[in-house]
Amino acid sequence: MMQMKEYKEVPQDVPQDDTVVRQPTSADAVRIPSGPENWMSIPVGMPNCPQGLEYLTALDQLLVSQKIEKLELLTGFETKNRFKIKNSLGQNVYFAYEESDCCTQRGPFEMKILDNFQNEVLHLTRPFRCDLLCCFPDCLNAVEVSAPPGQVIGTVEQVCTFLRPKFNIKNSFGDTVLHIEGPICPCKCFSDTNFKVLSANNEEIGKISKQWSGLGRELFTDADYFSVTFPLNLDVRMKALIFAALFLIDVVYYEH
């Protein structure tokens, strides 16, 4: 469990060059944009909130854009995914990057979400899954979500269905607390695709939207735009799990 003393704070108004962040368990360095970009101020005085998730207490929407790498644009070779996460005012909230091998889309992946101070505040882990028997429990897609890293707050698990895509969101005790239901055709063109977030009694409380980004971008890159909405007063851990579900949906339906 991350201790308070390990959480770095860097003044937001100090210009910086691109900073290389090296995690102790990875041999790869990740370059994170910093400096003149406009970052959301962190809310203060939030009790019983995992450190780094304070931003979510003041938000009911997140906008996610996948960064297009020059290598992917010029050659079509897929690179490791990186995302910017902003609020509805266009302010940066988080930066996310994938640590998995870009050549194994159906294999395991690790996703790290960092805040403005370059601290990892959310960690997503998806184990290896097979493609042969997609309705066997061990073959379905799932991600385990930790906040802070090392402290599991819940999971997002795909449900075996032959019609609409479905996912269950479970808390740290394994109880299903929310559901996600997608359209019959999640890969339609020329319009946004919405996945409804439902409460335990099937009341719609939010949605995850894959936004149509134009024919050229859709055909020649894997760079996607998403938005996620949830109730402002929803528990911050549930907001984080809905946010995590966005990345699982991206991997399952749009990383091709």
d(CA 194, CA 68): 23
Determine which helix (DSSP H) or strand (DSSP E) holds 193, and give its type and residue range.
strand 193-198
Contacts of 132 (CB under 8 A, 6+ apart): 139
Nearest of 87, 94, 39 to residue 63 by alpha carbon:
87
Query: CB–CB of 67/83 below 8 Å?
Result: yes
The reported pLDDT for the residue numbered 8 is 44
73-82, 144-153, 171-180, 190-199: least confidently modelled range: 73-82
Q: What is the pLDDT of residues 158-168, one digit of tens each?
A: 998 888 899 99
Nearest of 160, 157, 200 to residue 177 by alpha carbon:
200
Nearest of 238, 110, 250 to residue 170 by alpha carbon:
238
The model's pTM is 0.78
The reported pLDDT for the residue numbered 85 is 97
24-28, 64-68, 122-126: least confidently modelled range: 24-28
Query: CB–CB of 146/163 below 8 Å?
Result: no
Burial (CB count <10 Å: 0-12, 13-18, 19+), residue 34: buried
d(CA 167, CA 159): 5
The reported pLDDT for the residue numbered 14 is 35
The reported pLDDT for the residue numbered 108 is 74
d(CA 64, CA 69): 16
d(CA 124, CA 147): 9
Q: What is the pLDDT of residues 186-205, one digit of tens each?
A: 766 667 899 999 999 999 99
Would you say residue 137 has pLDDT above 70? no
The reported pLDDT for the residue numbered 185 is 79
Residue holding tokens 């269950």?
Answer: 168
> What are the residue boundaries of the structural domains of the chain, listed by start?
44-253
d(CA 135, CA 114): 33
d(CA 47, CA 154): 20
Report helix, strand or coil for 136.
coil
CATH number of the 44-253 domain: 2.40.160.200
Judged by phi (left if over 0) then psi (alpha if -120 to 50, else beta), residue 71 lies in alpha
The reported pLDDT for the residue numbered 101 is 56
Instruction: Count CB atoms within 10 A of the CB of residue 236.
Output: 19
Would you say residue 244 has pLDDT above 50? yes
Which two structure tokens, joined as six digits, stand for 39? 């970052």
d(CA 164, CA 155): 20
